[in-house]
Amino acid sequence: MAISQDGGPIDVADFIDNQPVGGFQIGLLATCAAVLILDGFDTTAIGFVAPRLAREWSLTKGALGPVFSAGLFGLMIGALVFGPLADRIGRKRIIILSTLAFGLGALATAFARDVNTLLAIRFLTGLGLGGAMPNTIAMTSEFSPRRRRATMVMIMFCGFSLGAALGGLLAAALIEPFGWRAVFVVGGLAPLLLVPILAFWLPESVRFLALTGRANERVAELLRLVSPKVAFAPATTFVVHEPGLAGMPVLHLFKDGRTLVTLLLWVVFFMSLLDLYFLTNWLPTVLNDLGASESGAAVIGSMLQVGGVVGALALGSVIDRFSFRALALVYFIAVFSIGAIGQLGHSVVFVTMAIFVTGFCTVGGQIAANALAAGFYPTAVRATGVGWALGIGRAGSIVGPLVGGWLLTMKWSPAAVFMAAASAALCAALAAFFLSRLAGMGGSSRETADAPAAFEAPLRPSTTVGA
């Protein structure tokens, strides 16, 4: 039976928080995950084709470091620019634009004929890839009830890890019969086919619409999709009880007690993504040097992302409950698993296990950090907060491949290379530990009502503004 409302204002966040997760939200999650599957595929495919590309173009292994970093530099700029832009014009438009951009970029990669052209194309592709991620995170977060928010975001973000793993498996299947360019033909056509589906089906964020105060009818339609049994009176208005944030969105990341948490989040993202992209780009090459075939190295390297998917699924409810305490523990475990890769490289079974555990901790930990960042920031700057955290993290992802290329050029042993990578995981663990301590002390000042559970009770805002 439909429930009739009396026409009074309805808090959109409270309404969603009081509903079970339904079919509409699962469909939205799946759609955003589809974007990230293709994002993950196109982001990591260059690492899986690197051994063949280097041999075909007569390049040293270190020469591909700038190619890896060019795409990641584009990812950084895309996250820094498109996050704040989405807080102004909406999540949906940026997700569609980003998907179109990285689809065209991936397709263009298949036609590159020299390193300089490849550098330019990978940078432009990265702009699209960087814009998609923070906005799919924000979109999923804003349609999810608080008690399941981290779990929903982490499940959605598994799409990236699945796409990255698929990049390794497809590379193994396509490189031998068709060459490395075939990987990017597939990686370019798939996003272009997804764009019209996104334009037709993907909704705008209901909380973003409510915050504008200009789309009551559309907000009512979306909330009825969330809870089909509810009917709203024509005079019903919808509000988001969060502080009004005027001016540049980036500046609000450092106001109202958010400064220290923002900076610590940036350390977590920087070190986590440094490790993740160091491993993603150089694992196949190092494994190939240790005796694995190109296809075998791609398959074994894909266990990093498989472990990440398992980690995200296993850690979701734990992160919802224990927040940064669990995240710190996960990164501490990664310190040992990353170091073990370099010690076990000549044993296929043991190195595969070490890579799987590393993926569980580093990829799973990064996905958890995404979810926690999305829950920490208010709607008005959520895409900005997540986008800038990812953008700062992308700086780490640029450094990672360059450091890996330099270490290999300097002929460091695999054991020494992976011990260096383990030190970055240790830094992420310490930053997460300090975040957990900050949460335990209750923080130093007020925070938004939408903060994750670890910060929520002691950090309530002193005022609320209806949209």
At 367-407, the pLDDT tens digits run 888 888 877 787 777 888 888 888 888 888 778 877 887 88
Give 98 or 5, the one with higher predicted confidence.
98
pLDDT recorded at residue 431: 93
pLDDT recorded at residue 356: 92
List the domain boundaries for the chain. 14-212+249-437
Give 78 or 320, the one with higher predicted confidence.
78
Q: How far is it, in rounded angstroms, from Cα 86 to Cα 141?
A: 14
Query: Which of 269, 379, 388, 278 has its CA nearest to residue 331?
Result: 269
CATH number corresponding to 14-212+249-437: 1.20.1250.20
Side chain identity at residue 358, one-letter code: T
Contacts of 314 (CB under 8 A, 6+ apart): 360, 364
Give 338 or 349, the one with higher predicted confidence.
338
Q: How many CB atoms lie within 10 A of CB 302?
A: 27
State yes or no: pLDDT of 458 exceeds 80. no
Q: Is 8 left (phi over 0), alpha (psi -120 to 50) or beta?
A: beta
State yes or no: pLDDT of 50 exceeds 60. yes
pLDDT recorded at residue 363: 87
pLDDT bucket at 33, cuts 50 / 70 / 90? very high
State yes or no: pLDDT of 245 exceeds 70. no
- List the single range of 83-92, 324-333, 337-346 with lowest mean pLDDT: 337-346
**Mean pLDDT for the stretch of residues 78-106:** 90
pLDDT recorded at residue 244: 55
pLDDT recorded at residue 439: 66
State yes or no: pLDDT of 449 exceeds 50. no
Can you give the length of the chain in residues?
467
pLDDT recorded at residue 447: 38
Side chain identity at residue 238, one-letter code: F
Give 366 or 346, the one with higher predicted confidence.
366
State yes or no: pLDDT of 464 exceeds 80. no
**Mean pLDDT for the stretch of residues 18-41:** 91
pTM of the predicted protein model: 0.75
Tokens read off for 320: 């919802």
